[in-house]
Amino acid sequence: MQSSPLVWHNGKLKPLHEATVHVGAHALHYGSSVFEGIRVYATPDGPRYFRLVDHTERLLLSAKVYDLDIPYSREAINRACEDVVAANGLASAYVRPIAYRAGFTFSLAPSRDVPVEFAVIAIEWGSMHGAQALEDGVDVCVSSWNRAAPNTYPTGVKAGGNYLSSQLIAQEAVRGGFAEGIALAPGGCLSEGAGENLFIVRGGKIYTPPVGASILAGITRDSVLTLARERGIEVIEQSLPREFLYFADEVFMTGTAAEVTPVRSVDRKPVGAGKPGEVTRALQKAFFGLFDGSTANTHGWLTPIANHEHVGSSQGWLRFDPADAQATAQMEAA
């Protein structure tokens, strides 16, 4: 993977090879990092961040759970994300801010004076599964690995350590010749992909597992659900059994890296007609339209790189739906 030449690291823009970590760093041994993946899109008005404020909000909440004191303010984090894109002259990018326990300690309960460092890397990256996948859809399987139970470690936190689970799911899928694996939640119902949220369309309605189903509450998930509701498509966040994948008219997955990727088969069974369906297409159009101007940016989701005025709160990417409480109760009962 090719990073852009300059990386933002501990307050400075520096060449990638100078942005290093200690081999004793706590994060390397125990996964104690929190990170984000954020996209910058080339729009007719120039490069624009997509929901930077919300990604920073999620990063700060992730850090809070692990008592990781990021030594930069919300505004400084936003500014660092902008600076790395501007300094590398990128028109579009996938941006990876990461805060990690950089100090050398083997303690599992490190004191708060063990240093936390912060870096932002930017790369040029097309869609995770490739441009053709956006057109044709991908072949996925259900993983033999489950997501972690909510009382083990929090899947709603985007921490480095969580991605051991995602690696097992993705590696198994790739070994089997699939583009991605879909994991079940501990109760046996559907959860999400290794790095994407999951959606099923049946009878013109969209179904997606709730935040209680051991998912990461994706910002793309929230965007697509918002766009769907605005287009009069009914959205149901509920606990879903595995067979819904095979009953589905359409299946698609969302993520910052994966964007809106149609799924054309699950476990070698075709989804619906075996090609992306009408609802998936409409949502792809609405989503990608945000970046060519054909979908109005009514939520303030796009921000210019030069705009350093990111104050204010998140725009509600994390919603607790009554269905979540219900799903959680069902899972606990199971």
**Contact set with ligand PMP (CB under 6 A):** 37, 166, 192, 195-197, 216, 218-221, 254-256
158: annotated active-site residue: yes
Residue nearest to ligand PMP (CB): 218
Beta carbon nearer to ligand PMP, 6 or 173 = 173
Instruction: In angstroms, give the least distance from the CB of 18 to ligand PMP.
Output: 27
Written as one string, the DSSP assignment of 87-155 is: HTT-SSEEEEEEEEE-SB---SS--TTS-EEEEEEEE----TT-HHHHHH-EEEEEEEEEPPPTTTS-T
Instruction: In angstroms, give the least distance from the CB of 162 to ligand PMP.
Output: 7
Beta carbon nearer to ligand PMP, 128 or 201 = 128
CA distance 24 to 32: 12
C-alpha count within 13 angstroms, C-beta hemisphere, residue 271: 29
Instruction: In angstroms, give the least distance from the CB of 12 to ligand PMP.
Output: 27
Beta carbon nearer to ligand PMP, 8 or 317 = 317
Tokens standing for residue 194: 């290794």
In the beta sheet, which residues pair with residue 251? Answer: 200, 263
Of the candidates 291, 192, 211, the one whose C-alpha atom is nearest the C-alpha of residue 251 is 192
CB 83 within 8 A of CB 8: yes
CB-neighbour burial class of residue 2 (10 A; exposed 0-12, middle 13-18, buried 19+) = exposed
Handedness of CA 109, 110, 111, 117 (dihedral sign): negative
Instruction: In angstroms, give the least distance from the CB of 39 to ligand PMP.
Output: 9
CA distance 208 to 237: 5
CB 92 within 8 A of CB 46: no
Instruction: In angstroms, give the least distance from the CB of 96 to ligand PMP.
Output: 10
Beta carbon nearer to ligand PMP, 8 or 94 = 94
Among the listed residues 12, 14, 64, 158, the single catalytic one is 158
C-alpha count within 13 angstroms, C-beta hemisphere, residue 120: 29
Q: Specify the residue for token string 């994300």.
A: 81
Instruction: In angstroms, give the least distance from the CB of 183 to ligand PMP.
Output: 9
What are the φ and ψ backbone dihedral angles of 161, each rounded to 5 degrees?
Answer: -60, -30
CA distance 236 to 228: 11
Instruction: In angstroms, give the least distance from the CB of 58 to ligand PMP.
Output: 7
Strands 259-266, 33-35: pairing kind: unpaired
Beta carbon nearer to ligand PMP, 103 or 223 = 223
* Coil, strand or helix at 3: strand
Beta carbon nearer to ligand PMP, 163 or 244 = 163
Beta carbon nearer to ligand PMP, 210 or 255 = 255
Residues with catalytic roles = 158
